[in-house]
Structure 1
Amino acid sequence: MLSISNLHAAYGKVEVLHGISLDVPKGKVVTLIGSNGAGKTTTMRAISGMIKAKAGNVTLAGVDVTGLASHKIARAGLAHSPEGRRVFATMSVVDNLLLGAFPRFTRMRPRGDIKQDLERALELFPRLKERQTQLAGTLSGGEQQMLAMARAVMLNPEVILLDEPSMGLAPILVEEVFRIISRLKAEGVTMLLVEQFAAAALNVADYGYVLENGRISVHGPAEKLKNDPAVKAAYLGGGQH
């Protein structure tokens, strides 16, 4: 569904990704784990067109989207829930969600039943349902994270990129976020997940890749990675869920 081949990306002259390759099959959850500065967020940004790849290919549902502008990649069916949430603070919760469906309103993506999908998103995120008329900027950090995820769902995408959905959240909200990811997975939503809580990510994922200094160091079924001594020592130690 989403295939990354030999991807190189840089900020200015500093190359961050040194030729990474990974696959996200349809209906699966794949996680990308690694320490801070390994290049996880850069990978997400290069996939969604927020930064231009220096080399390599990004293929979405059989279509080469390498080098396309972000809005064109979104139209092709890639939704990105970015690190730091980036909700539209002066707009209501519902208006933020409807903006997520914008390419469907303009017929750039199959329209489907937007009203029904809005109701589904609010059912999936009950906190948002309670606050649907509230301005997004007045929500708590956890609620804004849920809004960013729900906005991505509203595209009715082929693939969702989730970048650090638990960052800065209280433990009870981290559990809520992963409950929602599990529910989306059960509904067959294809996801690439970057997450600081490696153990929680591997618990929900089908397959995992470990990124070290801009290169994939090891990859395999999530269950296998959870039991890999090197992965356990580096990423599944103290404080991880």
Structure 2
Amino acid sequence: MLRVEKLQAGYGQTDVLYGISLEVPKGKVVSLIGSNGAGKSTTMRAISGMIKPKAGSVHLNGRDVTGFDSHRIARLGLAHSPEGRRVFPTLTVKDNLLLGAFPRLSGSRPRGDVEGDLTLAMDLFPRLKERRSQLAGTLSGGEQQMLAMARAVMLKPDVILLDEPSMGLAPVLVEEVFRIIRRLKQDSVTMLIVEQFAAAALEVSDYAYVLESGRVAVEGPAQDLKSDPAVRAAYLGGAH
């Protein structure tokens, strides 16, 4: 479904990633965990075309999409809910969601039942249903995060990238975000997640990669990493 091989990327002359390789099989949830500055968000940006890789490759559904522009990768079936939410503040909640479906509306992806999927998204994110006519810029931080996730879902993508979905949220909203991730997993939605709450990420994941200084330090089934003493001590708060 998504395969990354020996990915090297960074900003300007500064490299951040040094040969990252990972796979996200169809219908599975995979997490990237690691300390701040390890290269997690850079990995997501390089996969989705927000930055251009310097070396290595990204394959989506068997197709080499390395270096493609973001809009082209989205049309091929990859949705990215980026760190920092990045909703369209002067548009309504409904219009933000319809923009997520733009490749379907414009004919570059199968259209399907857009209105039906809009209803399903509202049901999945009930806070958004209550605010469907409200300007996105007037939403709370947690509501904007849900909108960014729902907008990604509206693409009907083959793979969703979720970059720090719980960042800056109150505990009750963090629980809501992970409820939604679990619901998407039940529906066999393929996801790659970067998440500051490593224990919660591992709990919902099938497989995980630990990044250190732009390289994969450890990888394996998520439950194995959750019980690994070194991973627990470094990322899960010891015994927690």
4+ long deviations beyond 4 Å: none
1:3 and 1:119 mapped to 2: Cα distance?
32
1:10 and 1:184 mapped to 2: Cα distance?
31
Q: What's the CA shift for 1:238?
A: 7.0
* Alignment pair present for 1:155 and 2:169: no
Which residue of the partner structure matches residue 181 of structure 2?
Answer: 181
Q: Per-residue CA shift, 1:124-175, capped at 9, x if unaligned? A: 0000000000000000000000000000000000000000000000000000
Which residue of the partner structure matches residue 171 of structure 1?
Answer: 171
1:142 and 1:173 mapped to 2: Cα distance?
6
Q: What's the CA shift for 1:44?
A: 0.3
1:233 and 1:192 mapped to 2: Cα distance?
23
2:125 and 2:192 mapped to 1: Cα distance?
20
The count of aligned residue pairs is: 240
* Alignment pair present for 1:203 and 2:203: yes
Which residue of the partner structure matches residue 108 of structure 1?
Answer: 108
Which residue of the partner structure matches residue 78 of structure 1?
Answer: 78
2:226 and 2:69 mapped to 1: Cα distance?
36
Could you say what secondary structure the match of 1:53 adopts? coil
Which residue of the partner structure matches residue 132 of structure 1?
Answer: 132
Q: What's the CA shift for 1:106?
A: 0.7
Q: List gaps (5 residues or longer) in structure 2.
A: none
* Letter of the structure 1 residue corresponding to residue 168 of structure 2: G
Which residue of the partner structure matches residue 2 of structure 2?
Answer: 2
Q: What's the CA shift for 1:239?
A: 11
2:64 and 2:76 mapped to 1: Cα distance?
10
CA contact (8 A) 2:233 2:239 kept: no
2:102 and 2:238 mapped to 1: Cα distance?
42
Q: List gaps (5 residues or longer) in structure 1.
A: none
Q: What's the CA shift for 1:177?
A: 0.1
Q: Per-residue CA shift, 1:1-52, capped at 9, x if unaligned? A: 0000000001111100000000000000000000000000000000000000
Q: Per-residue CA shift, 1:29-76, capped at 9, x if unaligned? A: 000000000000000000000000000010001111001110000000
Q: Tell me the TM-score normalised to structure 1 length.
A: 0.98
